[in-house]
Homo-oligomer: A and B are copies of this chain.
Amino acid sequence: MRLDTDPYLSRYADRARDLAASEIRALFAVVNRPEIVSFAGGMPDTAAMDLDAVAQLTAEVVRDHGHTALQYGGGQGREELREQLVEVMARGGAPATPDELLVTVGGQQGLELVAKCFVDPGDVVLAEGPTYVGGVGALSSHQADLRHVPMDAEGMRTDLLEEALAALKREGRRAKYVYTIPNHQNPGGVSLSEERRVHLAELAEEHDLLLLEDGAYSLLDFEGHVGTSLRSLVPDRVVYVGTMSKTFAPGVRTGWIAAPTPVRERLVVLREAADLCPGNLTQLVVERWLTTQPWEAQVKEYRALYAEKARTMLDALEAEMPAEVAWTRPSGGMFVWLTVPRGIDTSALLAKAIVNRVAYVPGRGFFGDGQGGDALRLCFSYASVERIREGVGRLAELLQGELALLRDVFGADAPELAGRRDEPGITGGGQGGGGTSRDPGPGWGVA
């Protein structure tokens, strides 16, 4: 249905008028076909899960706590689960009390509720560029003025954040908050250095800033390294969002927000208006998982599996990609950020990629301001190592073909062929991670 034929158009709220099912979305409808190697969805490899154990504990939950499991619960979420989630946070070095927690429908609901709580239309929010597509979606749906701070191999350029804050001050404005994913950033695949964490905390104090710390990948460092949590540095200035989607399973849709009490109270009221309460059935399943199963061993298994898959992807990229292409070198998480010469539009290229049986997420989705047309995100966590090699091969072949076409049309020295390997940003020489870089619309059904 095209916008100009929508008979309901005059009725929509401002925030919804320009939303439309994008072409990208239509393409994503086919990427789950078995012949396509998909690096698109940010999906954990649940093949690593012990399904019998989960089936058994799920049945136990219904048999032992059925009337609770099937009934409504409180809007903040079960206290028993919040106590467990505080323990999960502690493993990631982030302190919190159960009362500060609100159980959410995945990390995504956390990001949306925080936007709903703080963002009036036109309010400035700062975030890494690129940043999580669902974060862009949550902010867009509340009409935020999302501005990006470039990254390099050490994560967000806090010196450039400082400049952005000074520029805002000159405009007589302030940022409602700074959204950051310090560990194994999605989609950049880089982490914020320890020095910059301290700098970011100092900037928060100096500029009276609120930080939104997204800890989705905090436990997924390949070596088990735990970065210093912003919440441990400036707790009163940090709203923390966490998720069980990457350490347990996305299908239970369980995440949380940890926030100073007055903020948490408002968030509970907003969540009740949004969907009343988190489901007791899935809360009880996660609770039992955390209390009766070796969940830390499961996380270790995910780590080892993803380390192997990341190595496979990086080796294949090194072996197969043309010299004009750059990418980041993740030490954890689930993603590689890849930058191509400016003459190639990764949104336009996606249809061809799918014909060539490989899928990725075009870079524009990770920015609120149209950047990212020369970048794309590859997820290495879901596909098997064999499929990763195949998929990278197909993508490399496609890019070779595109570059040859550009050379034919523009000549070998054309600016369209210039890569960004030697520029600052998360593209630098393939050693760092993530570039600085228009909008296919939020979401493609997966994180």
- Can you give 10 A-B contacts (C-beta < 8 A)? A7-B236, A15-B116, A51-B70, A58-B62, A69-B251, A71-B249, A253-B275, A253-B278, A272-B442, A277-B446
Complex: A21 Cα to B285 Cα, angstroms: 29
Chain A interface size range: 35 or more
Residues from chain B with a CB closer than 8 A to the CB of A407 are none
* Besides the known contacts A1-B262, A13-B142, 12 further A-B residue pairs in the complex with CB atoms under 8 A apart: A5-B262, A12-B117, A13-B116, A21-B269, A51-B70, A70-B250, A70-B251, A104-B275, A112-B274, A116-B141, A272-B443, A282-B282
| CB <8 Å contact, B71 and A250 | yes
Q: B-facing mask of A1-20, CB < 8 A → 1, else 0?
A: 10001111101111110011
Known A-B contacts A55-B66, A279-B253; A120 and B13 likewise in contact (beta carbons under 8 Å): yes
Interface-facing stretch out of A72-80, A146-154, A188-196: A72-80
Residues from chain B with a CB closer than 8 A to the CB of A68 are 251
Residues from chain B with a CB closer than 8 A to the CB of A6 are 262
Of the candidates B8, B70, B253, B276, which one forms a contact with A108 in the assembled complex, judged by CB atoms under 8 Å apart? B276
Interface-facing stretch out of A42-50, A224-232, A351-359: A42-50
Whether a CB of chain B sits under 8 angstroms from the CB of A176 is yes
| CB <8 Å contact, A119 and B13 | yes
| CB <8 Å contact, B52 and A63 | yes
Of the candidates B73, B272, B446, which one forms a contact with A137 in the assembled complex, judged by CB atoms under 8 Å apart? B272
Whether a CB of chain B sits under 8 angstroms from the CB of A409 is no
Secondary structure class of chain A's binding surface, majority of residues: helix
Residues from chain B with a CB closer than 8 A to the CB of A140 are 273
Known A-B contacts A71-B250, A443-B75; A12 and B266 likewise in contact (beta carbons under 8 Å): yes
Whether a CB of chain B sits under 8 angstroms from the CB of A106 is yes
Known A-B contacts A70-B49, A141-B116, A265-B1; A16 and B272 likewise in contact (beta carbons under 8 Å): no
A396-447 contacts to B (CB < 8 Å): 441-447
Whether a CB of chain B sits under 8 angstroms from the CB of A295 is no
Q: B-facing mask of A85-116, CB < 8 A → 1, else 0?
A: 00000000000000000001110110010001
| CB <8 Å contact, B46 and A67 | yes
Residues from chain B with a CB closer than 8 A to the CB of A36 are none
Of the candidates B12, B112, B252, B447, which one forms a contact with A281 in the assembled complex, judged by CB atoms under 8 Å apart? B252
| CB <8 Å contact, A66 and B49 | yes
| CB <8 Å contact, A16 and B281 | no
Complex: A249 Cα to B281 Cα, angstroms: 10
Residues from chain B with a CB closer than 8 A to the CB of A20 are 265-266, 269
Known A-B contacts A62-B54, A69-B251, A109-B274; A445 and B8 likewise in contact (beta carbons under 8 Å): no
Whether a CB of chain B sits under 8 angstroms from the CB of A183 is no
Residues from chain B with a CB closer than 8 A to the CB of A71 are 43-44, 46, 249-251
Question: Within the complex, what minimum Cβ distance (angstroms) separates A335 from chain B?
Answer: 15
**A236 closest partner in B (C-beta):** B7
Question: Within the complex, what minimum Cβ distance (angstroms) separates A30 from chain B?
Answer: 12
| CB <8 Å contact, B13 and A275 | no
Known A-B contacts A56-B59, A273-B443; A43 and B21 likewise in contact (beta carbons under 8 Å): no
Whether a CB of chain B sits under 8 angstroms from the CB of A290 is no
